[in-house]
Amino acid sequence: MSVSSEIEEGTRLMPRFDSAGTLPCITVDAETGEVLMFAYMNQEALDRTIQTGRATYYSRSRKKLWVKGEESGFVQHVRELRVDCDQDCVLIKVSVEGGASCHVGYRSCFFRRLKPGSSGELEFTESKKVFDPEKVYPRSS
């Protein structure tokens, strides 16, 4: 089997990271299928996610790993990890302790949508925050 065939149809995990050493990760609720967030993983984040069963991402802006829930307590427990056909994107199905994945307090980072009929106005799809981010992430003075 060629390398291309092995990547596309084989049974070995062979992630194809981009030139920055990352790959996109879509995170969904394991029960409902709702998209909770989008982030990136590098090799270390992917390895730790697999080893620990806790969603671990790579922050491109901070240039460091972060375990979801490390500060907030809203830990994402990985129930399933999938790759797309050419292994350059990961999808993880998670259960979330505390029920929130967004750092601004909502269940999902995708809490707004384009208002039907509008070309630029957003409307909320979630009516209430799960937590108060000011209490969970106190700002240092």
Query: Tokens 């208002």 belong to which residue?
Result: 115
Q: Contact at 8 Å (CB) between 61 and 20?
A: no
d(CA 42, CA 59): 9
Give the per-residue pLDDT at 140: 54
Query: What is the chain's pLDDT, residue by residue, as a tens digit (141 residues)?
Result: 788 889 999 999 999 999 999 999 999 999 999 999 999 999 999 999 999 999 999 999 999 999 999 989 999 999 999 999 999 999 999 999 998 999 999 999 999 999 999 999 999 999 999 999 999 987 754
d(CA 42, CA 52): 15
Residues 6+ apart with CB under 8 A from 121: 114, 115
pTM (two decimals): 0.91
DSSP string, 69-81: TTTTS--EEEEEE
Q: Residue 121's CB: how many other CB atoms inside 10 A?
A: 10
Give the per-residue pLDDT at 107: 95
Q: Contact at 8 Å (CB) between 108 and 35?
A: yes
